[in-house]
Structure 1
């Protein structure tokens, strides 16, 4: 499902104008991005957590040149779904929704 399809579905289910739904969805993602860029984690109860994970410095190998490469310590975004969300997905009827 694309962002446009999500916006259309929310608008049809709530009766809110698509433009207003789009602004809200964009604002939601912007808040999450800005929070994570600032090093904060975002927790949405019943859905999951958007967390910033720290990756340690490590040595990798470039096999084509047979040289060592140092990959510095860095941070990556990650999503951890809530237990209730995982259970709903496990018990959901995916066969009916596959196109």
Structure 2
């Protein structure tokens, strides 16, 4: 499912217009992004948690040349599913 299909499904489920559903989805994405940028997590009980995880610096290899390169430490967004979502997915 892509974003437009999700917007259509939300509009149909809630009985709102597609424009209103898209505005709500865009707001949700913006708020989650802003919260993660502040290094905080977003917890949706029964669904899951959006959080920021740290990756340590490490060495890697350039696949074309085989040369060793240093990969800098970074922060990455992550999603940890909740128990209810896991149960739903697994039947």
TM-score (normalizing by structure 2): 0.89
Question: Unpaired segments of 5 or more residues in structure 1?
Answer: 92-99
Q: Which residue of 1 aligns with 2:85?
A: 85
- Structure whose alpha-carbon radius of gyration is higher: 1
The answer for unaligned runs of 5 or more in structure 2 is none
1:15-58 CA-partner distances (Å, limit 9, x unpaired): 11211111011000000111112211111111111111100011
Distance in 2 (alpha carbons) for counterparts of 1:48 and 1:55: 21
After TM superposition, the structure 1 stretch with the greater mean CA deviation from structure 2, 33-42 or 80-89, is 33-42
The match for 1:39 is: 39
Cα offset for 1:67?
Answer: 2.3
Output the CA distance in 2 between the equivalents of 1:60 and 1:4: 38
CA distance 1:64–1:20, change in 2 (3 Å): closer
Distance in structure 1 (CA, Å) of the matches to 2:63 and 2:18? 50
